[in-house]
Structure formats: C-alpha cells, structure tokens
Structure 1
Amino acid sequence: MPFSIDAAAAALLDARRTRTRLDALPEGARPESEAEAYAVQDAVARALGPVAGWKVGAPSATANPARAALHADTIFASDAGSCTLPASLFHVIGAEAEIAYRFARDLPPEAGPYDRDAVLAAIATMHPAIEIADTRFATFGAVDAPSQRADQQNHGVLVLGPGLTAWRGLDPVAQPVRLTVDGTVLHDRVGGNSAVDPVRLLVWLANEGARSLGGIKAGQVVTTGSCTGTDFVTAPTRMAADFPGLGSVTLAIA
C-alpha cells in the first residue's frame, strides 16, 4: 500500500478540530522515514495557515536537528513576562524552559547558504520561553518517532517573555537557567540544551529545515529546544523559566 500524505494530514487535522486523540495514524498513513514525516508535517502546516515560528532541536551537539513549523494560535508573547492559559488547551502538559529568537528579516532559501554570522545578523531579539510539549495521540511518546515528528514534533504552545535587543553579549551555551513549578525549583543549571549550541540549530533551519515552507521570515520566532528536559505536570499549575541576564517568563495553567 503506498504511503498517503493526505490521509495522515487529514487524521491529524481532524484530531485537532475535534479534540479527540489518535491511538495511531491510519494504516497506509504512517510515515516510515524523515522525508515522509516532514511531508505530513508540512501538509498540516499549510492547512493551518501562515507559519508564525519554528521549533528546532537536536539530541546531541553533532546529531541532525529536527524542526516543526508553528502557528500564531499556539504562540503567546507577553511583554509583561506572564501568561495564563486554560487547561482545556492541553492533553498533557510537558514543561520546558527554552531560549527563542525573533527574526528581523527574511532568510529566503534561494539567497543562501547562510553562515553563522549571516543568521545572527538577521535576529532582532532573544527571549526567555516556555514550550509546553503536547500530542494529538492518546499517549505521549507511545507512537513511533516519525509519527511524532509528523505531529508537529510534540508541540503544544510556546510562551515568550520580553524580547532582549542587546542580546549579543549573551552566550546561550553558558546561559544559566532555572525552572520553577508551583514554587519548587526543578532545575537550576548552566546551558542544558541537548544540542549544546542553539545557534547551530538556527543555521541549519535557515539553510535546510525551513526550506520546504519558504524559509525563515521576518517576524517569525524560533525556539531552540529545552534547556531543562521535559517535566510533565498537572493543572492547575504555575511555572517560571528564569534566565539571568536574559529575563524570565511565567505561565499559569488554570
């Protein structure tokens, strides 16, 4: 049976629309490769509307990165540094403290390749962020890796704290981070990103990862993977990600 991108995308879109959970993607619609997973992810992204941002990460300093396109309805920016969301938005709540970057100008694929300096020159602001990992499947992490990648790489929401314009003096590899949930410090460390250097991820995204959806665009935000791992919590809850020198962001889920 040939693989059906359309059937996989339709199942994921219907799960979003009806807020039901899939045990798995339908037979004949389960991606078996990275290329098939991204084809499904891109089909869902095009159906959901304009891309407002990206998530990108890697399991080690040398591993190939992975990405997912994000949309405005799951990105929440707070100049005050705090946000409250209803628990009804989530199936599971996986708290992650992250560093995000907002781009000031386009990086079209046809104008590349881009080196590190060119990518950094296109960034406007750096942000403290919280991503909530979530899933369209019944059990988080129970399906195969390509199906998870097709499902927006387990994205729930992204909450951005205030943007820092004078960010060039900050080294994300040596950046302290503290994640607090309901008054308890769960993580207090330096760095912590499994990819080690988030800028490597941005360069990959500009040159390869975002290519199929038109590249990185001005105004888009890119979050660069968890610095604290994933902590699953239950609502109601209040979490804060503090990045000394960069800023902090708080998310309450009521």
Structure 2
Amino acid sequence: MAQPFDPKAPADLLVQAGRSGRQLTELPAELRPGTLAQGYAIQEAHAQALGETPKGWKLGVGSVSAMAAGNLERPLVGRLFAERFHPPGSTVQLPCAAPVTVEFEIAFVLSRDVAPGTAPADAMRAVASTHVAFELVQSRFVDRRTVGWPSFVGDNVGFGAHILGERIDPAHISRVVKTVEEQVDGLAVGRGLTGDDAIDPVQALRFLFEHATNHGITLKRDDVVTTGAVAKPFDVGPGSADVTALYLGGKLTVRVTTPQA
C-alpha cells in the first residue's frame, strides 16, 4: 500500500532554501508532489514552518491564455504574509541573487470574513477597498516554469514581497489598466495587458472564493487579495532597480534590491 503523502519534508526544504537565499533545481523525486492537492498541502506546511503572520492571498497564472496553456481550470493560489509587505517608495531586499519578477496588480482588501459557501453573488460586496499594487515574485526554484504546477504551488506560487499602493475607485480598474506604463530606472518596459493575456481582477476574486470553499478556508476581514498581473510582468536584478508604475495621474514606486551574483 502506498504511503500517504507527507508535505513536511518538501516544505522544510523550501523554507531552508528561502532563508539561505539559494534556489533548488527541483524537489527530490521522493518528496515531489504529483497533484495540485499535494502541492497545496506543501504550501500549508510551508506557511506553518515559516511562522510568519497571515495577511491574505495571491493569485497567479490567471489569464485565459495562461490557464489554457497550463491546463488549469482556475488560477493558482498562494498566501501573503505581513512581514513581506512594504510601503510604496521603500527599498525591498530579496534574499537570492536571482532575477525578481515584478507584477503590477489590482488588490482588494476584504470587508468581512467569508466562510466557505458564503461568498456574495456580487464579489465586490465583500470588498472594503481597491488598490494598485506590486507583487515581487522570486521562486525557491531556479526555473519555476519547469518544475510543474504542484511544486510551484508548494513554493507558495513564488511569493517574495508585496507593495500595497494607493486606494483607487473600483469603477476605474479598466482605466488604470489601459493607462499604466511600467518603468525601470526611468525607461519604459511594459503596459497593460489586453485580450486573452489580460485578467479580470473581480473574476480572480471569485476564483479565490471558489478555492476557499473547496479547501474549507475562511477568508478573513482585512485580508489582502492581490489578483495577478494586469500589466506585462518583467524581471529586474540581480542588483538594484528603481521600479515605477504610472497610471491615471498616479504613481507607484519601489526600489528592488538583491545580492549581486
């Protein structure tokens, strides 16, 4: 009889890699998850081993084209931790001498607890405020795209850090996406995504409600939900880079720093 999958050992490896600033090529075969359910079990154990303060949720691989290419029915879900939140304009040091993927996103702050099966039909009725944000992705794997979705889920979908920007009117989400220009050290590097490469932040929130129901999770009041890249993701580093997003007359900035290779 096959032994039950134990998520603790792979979770411990991922935590050790993150704390030491190194990356794994892949998990050892005997510890590697074979299903998304096993990946989420590692993610839970990973969160417990980190011992950091829960702050909310992130979604990734959420565009129509990305889900189709990845044979996914809904985006991948990861966890946010308060110790990895930084104010706009700050310098954020990530631990590994590897590139950091910067994603300009729309984030929601929940207005109430949402127990499994109690999400409102209008997802925005559970939202207290809407914000622009940066998510900084730095995986514990050398190449997060080749290790498989279960391992990437166990790696908490590559979450590195989060910058929660100013509040915006939710009615202006589409205008923010249409007008955003991303810059690195003053040079333009990307704009808002369109068509099947784009995500709908409100639909991403609905996907999170479905995920939470399926996994028996109660989402908490004041949880931050960062919904995935609405503009072209781009890599910076190693070293330091000043990152800016300009949108509708607003600005979100952060300096991203990693050790030199």
TM-score, normalising length from structure 2? 0.83
Q: Cα distance, 1:40 vs. partner?
A: 0.8
Question: Does the alignment pair 1:141 with 2:148?
Answer: no
Residue 232 in structure 1 maps to residue 242 in structure 2? no
Cα separation, 2, equivalents of 1:221 and 1:11: 27
Provide structure 2 residue ranges, at least 5 long, that are not aligned to the other structure: 68-72
Is this contact kept in 1: 2:63–2:197, CA < 8 A?
yes
Q: Tell me the matched-pair count.
A: 245
Residue 102 of structure 2 contacts residue 134 of structure 2 at CA under 8 Å; is this kept in 1? yes
Query: For 1:203 and 1:24, how far apart are their aligned partners in 2?
Result: 32
Looking at structure 2, the residues matched to 221 and 14 of structure 1 have their Cα atoms a distance apart, in angstroms, of 26
Match of residue 179 from structure 1: 182
Q: CA deviation at 1:28?
A: 1.7
Q: What is the aligned partner in structure 1 of residue 91 from structure 2? A: 84
**Aligned residue for 1:75?**
85
Q: Secondary structure, in 3 states, of the residue corresponding to 1:143? A: coil
Displacement after TM superposition at 1:16 (Å): 2.4
State the alpha-carbon separation in 1 of the partners of residues 214 and 246 from structure 2. 32
* Structure 1 residue 149, shift from structure 2 partner: 1.5
Q: Is the 8 A contact 2:198 2:230 kept in 1?
A: no
How far apart are residue 36 of structure 1 and its match? 0.9
1:207 aligns with 2:213: no
Q: Which stretches in structure 1 are left out of the alignment for 5+ residues?
A: none
Q: So what's the TM-score if we normalise by structure 1?
A: 0.85
Letter in structure 2 aligned against 1:132: L
Structure 1 window deviating more from structure 2 (5-14 vs 134-143): it is 134-143
Q: How far 1:187 sits from its partner (Å)?
A: 1.5
Q: Give the C-alpha shift of residue 152 in structure 1.
A: 0.8
Q: Paired residue for 2:74, among 47, 54, 64?
A: 64
2: distance between equivalents of 1:193 and 1:101? 22
Counting aligned pairs with the same residue, the percent is: 29
Would you say the 8 A contact 2:120–2:126 is kept in 1?
A: no
Aligned match for 1:33, one of 14, 32, 35: 35
Deviation at 1:27, TM superposition (A): 2.6
Cα gap change, 1:240/1:39 in structure 2, threshold over 3 Å: closer, same or farther?
Answer: same
2: CA distance between counterparts of 1:192 and 1:174? 16
SS in 1 for 2:38: helix
Contact preservation (8 Å) 1:98, 1:130: yes
Output the CA distance in 1 between the equivalents of 2:174 and 2:12: 38
